Amino acid sequence: MIELVSEDRCVQCKLCVKVCPTNVFDAGEDGIPVIARQEDCQTCFVCEAYCPVDALYVSPQADLPEHVEESDLIERGLLGSWREKIGWGPGRTKLAAIDTTAFIDRIHPVFGKQGKGIHTIR
Ligand code: SF4
Ligand code: SF4
């Protein structure tokens, strides 16, 4: 569930407001988004993935709000950590580039056999 927007990091691009599928954010008067409907959050992490400055924290705890402190999240390397984990952002390795899961074999067997570094799971 979305828990925090860092006012210090936010550059007011409104991307999170636009990409949220359940309209959780309102655009704040100062340009910093406000978590207006936290209960509608689907814990999809899309907003955190899109935030260009790692200003958002979505907790993996989907059912209940979790009290968080920004300083603690920063200290633990959690603010914007989902974006980092999936490799979005300059200089990061995209998750797709290191994923060797052989799902392509199941979707398209011929391509899967030709695919570089793709292994078949039986
Ligand atoms: S985690 Fe998904 S549903 Fe929740 S605020 Fe972010 S984009 Fe919206
Ligand atoms: S995506 Fe990040 S920088 Fe842009 S408005 Fe949302 S919190 Fe701020």
User: Ligand 2: which of 5, 46, 70 to mutate, judged by most atoms within 8 Å of the beta carbon?
Assistant: 5
Instruction: Give Dmax (Cα) for the chain.
Output: 55
Which ligand 1 atom is the nearest neighbour of the CA of 42?
A: 3
Which ligand 2 atom is the nearest neighbour of the CA of 14?
A: 5
Map out the domains of the chain with their CATH numbers.
2-90 (3.30.70.20), 92-122 (no CATH)
3-class DSSP state of 15? helix
The conformational region for residue 91 under phi > 0 = left, psi -120 to 50 = alpha, else beta, is left
pLDDT, one tens digit for every residue, the chain (122 residues): 999 999 999 999 999 999 999 999 999 999 999 999 999 999 999 999 999 999 999 999 999 899 999 999 999 999 999 999 999 988 998 887 877 777 666 776 666 555 554 444 44
Extract long-range pairs of 62-69: CB within 8 Å, 24+ residues apart: 62/1, 63/1, 64/1, 65/1, 65/3, 65/38, 66/1, 66/3, 68/3, 68/4
Question: How far does the centroid of ligand 2 lie from the alpha carbon of residue 102, in Å?
Answer: 34
pLDDT of residue 109: 65
pLDDT of residue 120: 46
